[in-house]
Structure 1
């Protein structure tokens, strides 16, 4: 009986650790390496089954190179996991998640309010890349994030409604900021300046940008130079949870 419990515990721990690992590498370039390893494993299995000795020898050499590459490619994810353990985040995980959920709910509710009222908005959420050169083009605020503040900033005829708002964690760092326009010639001609600026900043940094169209109220997002149109409340929440899963809200 005790042996069965140990096996069950072993399975549960393995699943939890594997899930956390995949959560860390999801939406990163490391996932591409993992997919490549899986493909190589399947090819190796088929080659061994068919008895292709020379090809198997070549795959053994590739396997050695992959084993060397894994620690290098996964280094950011491994460092992040060790930092979480070192800061004691494992112990206060639930508390941090509650704060983070509240933060996301507040931000999404504000965006949906802007969308309903067709108030144009350009919100840049800072990630790891510094945005000092962008902040310097606007008006520094360093204020606590609140729905009232964001709505007032983007209200038509407000002194700060033009340009972008820069948010770092739960602080509104600056408003009325200028963003670099994308140089992508393949984008449709009807795309407005606000959307082109949102794409431009994500081509140069790892920031995540939320756009609210002044004409239609449609909510869009940009990340890594790619734009997603027509997000509803739930889709926007899902994207924010994915991109900012490890954000530490104090």
Structure 2
């Protein structure tokens, strides 16, 4: 290979794309697959250099099977990766507004009474398939209505509430659970669901623990724990005002 300035640019671009791809699948099952595929190509390269014809043929058949199987086995991870690319690089980031004061007021009162709650704040990514799993509400956002929805033993207290802009869109919605490994065993279904929706979209997910009353915020597959009124308002203001 003849090295010139264009070759260097080619190598840099390839390296950046590979790095971004690894970052997208980090922490998922796909990272183990990537290691296996790289090892397979390494063995194939060595085999070709040594001139092993039968072994090379066998490796070619295995590579074909792997390339066909990858989209089927890792469909959820590939879908999440493509959605992340779409919202991070291709989505027009119009400002999304919501009534932060009403949300914070509801969360704090739910926390004080140790009432379990899960609230999803929709931003740019469409989550209609999640909304369709619950019951349509389509009401003006208010702290009182949120508190009433999560009152124990009421019809809508289970599941998640979806908030879009200044409206409560739906309640009792089912969220995808995270497949991330190594999570603390103390995290319950609400926390795993909050992490799951934040991995598959740019939505924010707020959780109030019914055991401790602690407040958590899930964003892009990561948690902010033990938030108080000030820190919660600061986090929400930062995410919505600056659209991070």
Equivalent in the alignment of 1:228: 224
Rounded to whole Å, the distance in 1 between the matches of 2:219 and 2:146 is 21
1:165 to 161, 176, 180: 161
2:208 to 204, 209, 212: 212
**Following TM superposition, by how much is the alpha carbon of 1:140 offset from its aligned partner in structure 2, in angstroms?**
0.5
Rounded to whole Å, the distance in 2 between the matches of 1:75 and 1:180 is 24
**Following TM superposition, by how much is the alpha carbon of 1:131 offset from its aligned partner in structure 2, in angstroms?**
0.9
Alignment of 1:1-250 (within 5 A): 80=93, 103-245=99-241
**Following TM superposition, by how much is the alpha carbon of 1:76 offset from its aligned partner in structure 2, in angstroms?**
6.2
Aligned residues, how many? 170
**Following TM superposition, by how much is the alpha carbon of 1:75 offset from its aligned partner in structure 2, in angstroms?**
6.9
Equivalent in the alignment of 2:80: none
Q: What is the root-mean-square deviation in Å for CA atoms of aligned residues?
A: 3.2
Deviation sequence 1:196-221 (CA, Å, 0-9, x none): 11001111111101000111110001
Rounded to whole Å, the distance in 2 between the matches of 1:149 and 1:129 is 25
Where 2:104 maps in the other structure, the secondary structure is helix
**Following TM superposition, by how much is the alpha carbon of 1:143 offset from its aligned partner in structure 2, in angstroms?**
0.5
**Following TM superposition, by how much is the alpha carbon of 1:185 offset from its aligned partner in structure 2, in angstroms?**
1.5
Q: TM-score, normalised by structure 1?
A: 0.60
Rounded to whole Å, the distance in 2 between the matches of 1:221 and 1:158 is 24
Q: After the TM superposition, which parts of structure 1 deviate over 3 Å for at least 4 consecutive aligned residues?
A: 74-77
Deviation sequence 1:134-154 (CA, Å, 0-9, x none): 011100111000111101100
Where 2:234 maps in the other structure, the secondary structure is helix
Rounded to whole Å, the distance in 2 between the matches of 1:181 and 1:75 is 25
Unaligned segments of structure 2, at least 5 residues: 17-87
Equivalent in the alignment of 1:51: none
Deviation sequence 1:131-190 (CA, Å, 0-9, x none): 110011100111000111101100000100000000000000000000011111210122
Cα pair distance change 1:103/1:136, threshold 3 Å:
same
Cα pair distance change 1:76/1:242, threshold 3 Å:
farther
Where 1:141 maps in the other structure, the secondary structure is strand
Cα pair distance change 1:194/1:75, threshold 3 Å:
closer
